[in-house]
A and B are shown apart, each in its own frame.
Chain A
Amino acid sequence: MHSGNPFTGRFVIEPKPQNVWGLTHAVWFFAMGLGGGLYLNRLLFGIDFGEALGMPAAVVLGMTLVIVSGLILVADLGRPIRAPRAFYNIRRSWISVGAVAHFTFLVLEAVLLLPYLTIAESQPFAGVFWAPGTTAALVLSWASAVPAFVIIVYPGLVLACSPSIPFWNTTLIPLQFLGSALAGGAAIAYLFGASRAPAIVVALGAVLATLGFTVAHIFNARYQRGAALTALAQVLRGALAPHFVWGNLILGLVLPSAALLLHLTGILVAASLPWTGALILLGSFLAKYAVIKAGHYAPLF
């Protein structure tokens, strides 16, 4: 109805979709989580898949993913040249905490990989005091676990600290991110041929935990009002249902859980593990995309 007033209907009090974050943030969260997950899986559970350029492949790939996600984050800024300023507000901003963790992780990884560096068939840094197998290397490896953990969970904490968007405003999101990062790290190992039992047990545990957190998130939103319900309707029945229900819940969590259980019991052969890994990765990405896109601002009253 044309009322003659150009403002009529423009500022209606209702849940409004957020439109500042989207696909690039989903890619950033996904890649950052995988990078941290690969590192933690190798350190905590010994999940590795050979070497790349003479270095541990899990560490090299994890570092690459973290670099890529950092570049995506910087490119997405309104003023990318001011990215170094993101280190300034570390006492209050989760993005600042993440930026510092990101930088620390990359520096520590570079230091850890230095002894492996091969130039003209020689390893000039092989004799450094933190060479593989030394106590210093062990200390550095565990020190890296802290920023690796932070880069997995901080994107979730950025979302969780948004009271204006009730669907995001829950600690279940960083927990989901942690679960899917560990599951994703193991899934990548499957894609590169790892099939040992620890990788399967870790992935199964992480996938089941993520499934539990996701279901809890759904119920948490179900018992709220307004914007959270609007977002929930969108991920369960609306435009994001193919991503969230089919892509994340069924293909990314339920199906891989069943497949991993069958692998553990020996019913499924190892050759099908890469497919399971691919499904986990697909679900992990789609979950992040759906949750970000479903965010709706709560009405003012």
Chain B
Amino acid sequence: MPRWGLVLDLQRCIGCYSCTVACRVENQTPAGVWFTPVYEKEIGTYPQVRRMFLPTLCNHCQDALCIKACPTGAISKRPDGIVLVSQDVCCGSRACIAACPYGAMHFYSDWQGDFEGHLTPFEELARDRYQPGTALKCTLCVHRIDQGILRPACVETCPTECRIFGDLDDPESAPNKLITGRKGLALRPEAGTDPSVRYVL
């Protein structure tokens, strides 16, 4: 059984947000819910200043704190390492949102469009996809992966190929080679979550 994961090459990310938008289109998330935000930060001191981008998503942790926090058992990890929220079981306690060290959990209270007063045809279609009052998160586009041929939408769309998707348990996979060759790092390692998303600088 593979362990699906991603390596994000920060040297390649140009902060174009195409992953953010592609994810939103693919997963039809409600207004204000972004599964793959790209964070930005200015680093250095003048005149040696540059803008750094940090593309993120749910880290699909092997020791996921959201699973521990959820009182209903709505969050589970599949054998291939993908962590999913069951919309039919979640009671909306929001404990997972407080527990996640990566800010990857979202609470969906009610459908709101991006534009005041009306819904776009896209939003009309998307409105019934999620249950109000439940938690939402990135699924690593499990519906695409399960077809066996497609990668997550954020990976497919990235113009700089900063997101490298593959089996972290396979020593010959592209992400694994990057992790070993360029010392892949985890975000917030002190949380002890063993995430399936790593970063190379």
Contacts and interface: CB of A to CB of B under 8 A. Distances in A.
Contacts of B95: 93, 95, 158
Contacts of B65: 161, 163-164
Contacts of A2: none
Contacts of A99: 71
Contacts of A83: 91
Interface residues of B, number: 45
Contact of B71 (A5, A8, A88): A88
Given A95-B71, A96-B71, A164-B103, A13 B187 contact: no
Given A78-B91, A164-B100, A301 B54 contact: yes
B160 interface: no
Given A11-B37, A77-B133, A85-B72, A164 B99 contact: yes
Interface in A5-62: 5, 7-8, 10-13, 16, 18, 20-21
B71 A13 contact: no
Given A21-B98, A79-B131, A158-B95, A300 B71 contact: no
A89 B97 CA distance: 17
Most A Cβ at <10 Å: residue of B41, B69, B98, B100: B98
B5 interface: no
B72 to A, nearest CB: 4
B67 A92 contact: yes
Interface in B130-164: 131-135
Contacts of B191: 163-164
Interface of A: 5, 7-8, 10-13, 16, 18, 20-21, 77-80, 82-83, 85-86, 88-89, 92-96, 99, 158-159, 161-165, 168, 295, 297-298, 300-301
5 contacts: A20-B97, A79-B133, A86-B91, A161-B99, A300-B188
By Cβ-Cβ distance, the 7 closest A-B pairs, closest first, are A78-B92, A78-B133, A95-B71, A82-B91, A85-B72, A86-B71, A13-B41
